[in-house]
């Protein structure tokens, strides 16, 4: 933004935003009328701003959004640096430093700006690289080696960081790379290099994706496509889904589940891992710009179509530890309905889960994801009972103790015990006889500084003793009361969980009435 344009004052009717800012922020915005916006100085870089305003000569209000800052692009930053050099006689280093200070004073977000571009210009900037690639695409006698070289250089440029990806995207990298794939559709070496460049470009920058990308995905996920091309296409598909709900819906609605279902029948574990990764990405709910996503609906459809195949893979690849981890993580993300838990049970999933835990008792990843899957499956009361009937209780305790020093695995194990014993006295008794009290207390004593352990441990204690009061004495003898009271002093935000465990153990505890009122609004008694 040219400093000569600032400060700039404008007044007029405030209207509903035109949609650009609303789409970027994920919330409604306000704006001046188009007439006023059209008459702003040309050198003024418009975007999402904060500032001050008043209405009808009333009080002046600060208009801002939390954590929102003035947004500028690379060209604006470069222009200010250039002005500092040409008009003020600064060295490139001084000019860049001055530009940074100037924009920071304005509250600008410089996280996507390449700051040293004017200090040490590269031999080939990304725009030049893309122009060369575009020329090669149009040439009839272009050599494969030259195309691959340009693709590798573009990939390397994008891998330098997010600002470089943004700059490449601004110069049309997405469309040029898709054109390259189209021009060399029968050359697997070029296709793999092109897909690697696309992955580098769109990792953490999925906004570039559009309908043309859908065609590419379906073209290169066909069964006859070469192995590496297919694997990289799946990898790119996942990157397009992460942090972008609209892309997920676009990809899902193109019936990609049919492709994924077909690929699950392939024997190669690398392909299967990428298929599982895409399946999990399609059920994410991580886009803050969208109020309501369709993660549940996506999970429902994927589970309906693939659960039997996924459960079968547990048998086929039970000696592949890495793939087993991915399989359990995927199954866990799809357990959104009780009938899906039953489906896994009917397909022999509980027996397989037991066998996996017995085969890998010391694997932290297997333990962690197995415990998460157990917790998810315990959402179905029949599955919850069957897991104990199939002898999982002692295996769970053994694996949990084997991984007691691993915080994440131990937390997941405690959560699994809490889920299995919830409103299930028979399960609680089986876990008790398998040595659950000693394991729970040992882990809580081992990790007094880990809030997640203390919280999950209190749930496990509460659920085990709530319908089996005779177990309380064992927990108390092991030191449960002292641990829970120590947690109360450290962690005020999990006070309810700790006190609930103390209450069900029969310990003296002062409970606080959360909601009170006297004929008016309810209050928690907390100070505003």
Enumerate the active-site residues.
86
Residue indicated by tokens 């120590």: 486
Whose CA is closest to 494, among 457, 525, 440? 457
d(CA 83, CA 85): 5
CB 150 within 8 A of CB 129: yes
Whose CA is closest to 257, among 225, 233, 282, 238? 282
Whose CA is closest to 328, among 365, 301, 363, 360? 365
The strand pair at 14-16 and 60-63 is best described as unpaired
Alpha helix ranges (H) inside 245-363: 245-253, 256-263, 269-281, 295-316, 321-334, 338-346, 349-359
CB 158 within 8 A of CB 196: no
Helices H, strands E: what count in the chain? 28, 6
d(CA 320, CA 267): 12
Other beta carbons within 10 angstroms of residue 322's beta carbon come to: 13
DSSP assignment string, 178-240: HHHHHHTTT-HHHHHHHHHHHHHHHTT-GGG--HHHHHHHHHTTSTTS-HHHHHHHHHHHHHH
CB 392 within 8 A of CB 355: no
Burial code (b: 16+ CB inside 10 Å, e: under 16) for 226-244 equals: eebbbbbbbbbbbbbbbbb
- Report in angstroms the alpha-carbon separations of 254 from 109, 211, 260, 304: 36, 10, 12, 17
8: tokens are: 């700039």
Burial code (b: 16+ CB inside 10 Å, e: under 16) for 116-130 equals: ebbeeeeeebbeebb
- φ, ψ of residue 7 to 5 degrees: the values are -75, 155
Cα atoms in the Cβ-side hemisphere of radius 13 Å centred on 356: 32
């Amino acid at each position: 933004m040219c400093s000569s344009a600032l400060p700039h004052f404008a007044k007029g009717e405030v209207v509903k935003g035109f949609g650009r800012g609303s789409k970027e922020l994920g919330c409604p915005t306000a704006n001046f009328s188009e007439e006023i916006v059209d008459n702003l100085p040309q050198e003024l870089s418009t975007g999402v701003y904060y500032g001050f305003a008043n209405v009808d000569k009333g009080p002046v209000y600060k208009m801002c959004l939390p954590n929102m800052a003035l947004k500028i692009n690379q060209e604006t930053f470069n222009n200010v640096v250039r002005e500092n050099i040409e008009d003020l006689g600064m060295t490139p280093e001084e000019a860049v430093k001055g530009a940074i200070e100037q924009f920071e004073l304005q509250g600008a977000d410089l996280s996507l700006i390449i700051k040293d571009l004017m200090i040490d210009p590269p031999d080939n900037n990304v725009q030049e690289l893309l122009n060369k690639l575009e020329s090669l695409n149009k040439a009839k006698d272009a050599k494969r080696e030259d195309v691959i070289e340009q693709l590798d250089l573009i990939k390397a440029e994008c891998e330098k960081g997010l600002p470089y990806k943004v700059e490449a995207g601004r110069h049309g990298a997405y469309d040029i790379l898709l054109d390259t794939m189209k021009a060399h559709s029968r050359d697997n070496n070029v296709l793999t290099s092109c897909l690697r460049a696309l992955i580098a470009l769109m990792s953490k920058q999925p906004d570039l994706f559009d309908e043309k990308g859908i065609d590419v995905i379906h073209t290169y996920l066909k069964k006859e496509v070469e192995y590496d091309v297919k694997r990289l296409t799946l990898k790119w598909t996942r990157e397009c889904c992460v942090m972008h709900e609209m892309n997920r819906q676009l990809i899902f609605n193109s019936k990609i589940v049919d492709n994924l279902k077909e690929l699950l029948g392939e024997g190669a574990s690398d392909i299967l891992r990428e298929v599982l990764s895409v399946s999990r990405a399609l059920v994410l709910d991580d886009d803050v710009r969208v109020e309501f996503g369709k993660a549940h609906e996506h999970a429902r459809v994927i589970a309906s179509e693939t659960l039997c195949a996924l459960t079968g893979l547990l048998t086929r690849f039970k000696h592949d530890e890495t793939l087993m981890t991915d399989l359990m993580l995927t199954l866990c993300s799809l357990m959104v309905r009780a009938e899906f838990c039953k489906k896994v049970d009917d397909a022999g999933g509980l027996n397989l889960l037991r066998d996996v835990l017995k085969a890998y008792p010391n694997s932290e990843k297997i333990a962690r994801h197995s415990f998460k899957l157990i917790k998810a499956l315990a959402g179905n009361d029949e599955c919850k009972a069957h897991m104990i009937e199939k002898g999982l209780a002692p295996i769970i305790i053994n694996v949990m103790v084997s991984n007691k020093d691993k915080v994440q695995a131990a937390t997941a194990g405690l959560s699994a015990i809490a889920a299995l014993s919830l409103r299930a006295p028979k399960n609680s008794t089986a876990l008790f006889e398998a040595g659950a009290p000693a394991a729970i207390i040992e882990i809580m004593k081992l990790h007094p500084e880990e809030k997640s352990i203390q919280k999950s441990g209190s749930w496990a204690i509460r659920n085990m003793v709530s319908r089996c009061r005779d177990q309380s004495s064992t927990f108390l003898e092991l030191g449960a009361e002292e641990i829970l009271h120590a947690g109360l002093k450290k962690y005020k935000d999990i006070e309810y969980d700790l006190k609930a465990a103390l209450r069900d153990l029969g310990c003296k505890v002062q409970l606080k009435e959360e909601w009170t009122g006297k004929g008016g609004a309810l209050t928690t008694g907390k100070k505003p």
